[in-house]
């Protein structure tokens, strides 16, 4: 029998599905895979936080510190010793198995404090100028201890922590400035790391318990927030408003929640204020003019 080849149609290699549809399927597959990997890294990060050794956490903190507080901004100042003593007096025994705490006084006008993985506590000079009693300052430090106890700084780093922990274990990023810069790029902007309202409220409650333990009362520890609320009211901010778009509890809500906690626990919010050391707002406790 003689074989007669069939003519091949011109459209034999053309898919019956429109190219744009194929492209959309490809994009969807990539998107789903990306979401799955991102979510998986989140679960890995949560598990990693609870299993990090103090040594590894210290290495991570050493990498992050130069980005959070560049060396030129960290002051060699006699006030650091006072701040360290105050912090130690607040520190509960539950933190003994974590990295040791280190105070860094940062030349920054912001009225703020922060704590990084590895126990690095950043105190902005603006905070020392704003507080009016040791009780207020102690509450701020105790609040940061609350975040440290709950490992919130590590949790806030989220998925970036996976890369940092791996790099620290491999000895990358801690021996050279170039390596550190590369790792910081992986973590994103440290200033954008925020805690949830739940984490902030928990740190507030933790702080008040430490304050009552140290001073036997919570008096004057909330004065800083009360002044802030007065300023907000003067600027026309609502006293009470929805917190859905806020990471921090609103100031009045913060005061109300802590007042309610004190009432429930039988803690007094009345008591004498412990004065600050003279000249705390000035470099090395020396006389200064503002």
> How far is 36 from 31, CA to CA, in rounded Å?
9
**Model confidence pLDDT, tens digit, residues 174-195:** 444 444 444 444 444 444 456 8
pLDDT for position 192: 45
* Cβ contact 275:133 at 8 Å: yes
- pLDDT (tens, 9 = 90+) of the chain, 290 residues, equals 666 666 666 555 556 666 676 667 777 777 676 556 555 555 666 666 677 788 888 888 888 888 888 889 999 999 999 999 999 999 987 776 678 899 999 999 999 999 998 999 999 999 999 999 999 999 999 999 999 999 888 887 765 666 665 665 666 554 444 444 444 444 444 444 568 888 999 999 999 999 999 999 999 999 999 998 888 788 776 554 444 334 456 788 899 999 999 999 999 999 999 999 999 999 999 888 76
pLDDT for position 242: 43
User: Residues 6 or more apart from 148 whose CB is under 8 A from it?
Assistant: 95, 98, 101, 115, 119
Please give the C-alpha separations between residue 87 and each of 55, 151, 160, 199, 225, in angstroms, as whole numbers.
Answer: 21, 17, 29, 20, 20
Q: Which residues pair with 104 in a beta bridge?
A: 122
Cα radius of gyration rounded to whole Å, the chain: 26
Strands 120-124 vs 102-106: parallel, antiparallel or unpaired = parallel
pLDDT for position 64: 85
**SS3 assignment for the chain:** CCCCCCCCCCCCCCCCCCHHHHHHHHHHHHHHHHHHHHHHHHHHHHHHHHHCCHHHHHHHHHHHHHHHCCHHHECCCCHHHHHHHHHHHHCCHHHCCCCCCEEEEECCCCCCEEEECCCEEEEEHHHHHHCCCHHHHHHHHHHHHHHHHCCHHHHHHCCHHHHHHHHHHCCCCCCCHHHHHHHHHHHCCHHHCCCCHHHHHHHHHHHHHHHHHHHCCCCCCCHHHHHHHHHHHHCCCCCCCCCCCCCCCCHHHHHHHHHHHHHHHCCCCCCCCCCCCCCCCCHHHCCCCC
């Amino acid at each position: 029998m003689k074989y007669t080849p069939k003519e091949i149609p011109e459209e034999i290699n053309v898919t019956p599905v429109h190219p744009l549809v194929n492209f959309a399927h490809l994009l969807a597959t990539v998107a789903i895979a990306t979401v799955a990997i991102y979510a998986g890294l989140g679960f890995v990060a949560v598990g990693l936080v609870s299993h990090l050794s103090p040594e590894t956490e210290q290495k991570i903190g050493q990498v992050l510190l130069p980005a959070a507080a560049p060396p030129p901004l960290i002051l060699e100042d006699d006030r650091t010793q006072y701040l360290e003593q105050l912090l130690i007096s607040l520190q509960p025994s539950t933190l003994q198995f974590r990295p040791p705490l280190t105070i860094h006084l940062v030349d920054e006008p912001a009225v703020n404090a922060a704590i990084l993985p590895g126990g690095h506590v950043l105190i902005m000079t603006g905070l020392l100028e704003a507080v009016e009693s040791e009780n207020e300052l102690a509450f701020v430090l105790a609040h940061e201890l609350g975040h440290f106890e709950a490992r919130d700084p590590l949790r806030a780093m989220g998925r970036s922590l996976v890369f940092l922990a791996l790099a620290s274990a491999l000895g990358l990023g801690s021996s050279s400035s170039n390596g550190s810069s590369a790792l910081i790029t992986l973590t994103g902007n440290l200033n954008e790391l925020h805690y949830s309202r739940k984490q902030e409220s928990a740190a507030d409650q933790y702080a008040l318990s430490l304050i009552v333990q140290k001073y036997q009362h919570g008096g004057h520890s909330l004065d800083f927030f009360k002044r802030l609320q007065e300023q907000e009211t003067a600027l026309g901010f609502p006293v009470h408003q929805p917190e859905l778009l806020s990471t921090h509890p609103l100031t009045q809500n913060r005061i109300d929640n802590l007042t309610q906690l004190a009432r429930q626990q039988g803690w007094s919010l009345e008591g004498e204020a412990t004065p600050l050391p003279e000249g705390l707002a000035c470099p090395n406790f020396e006389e200064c003019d503002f």
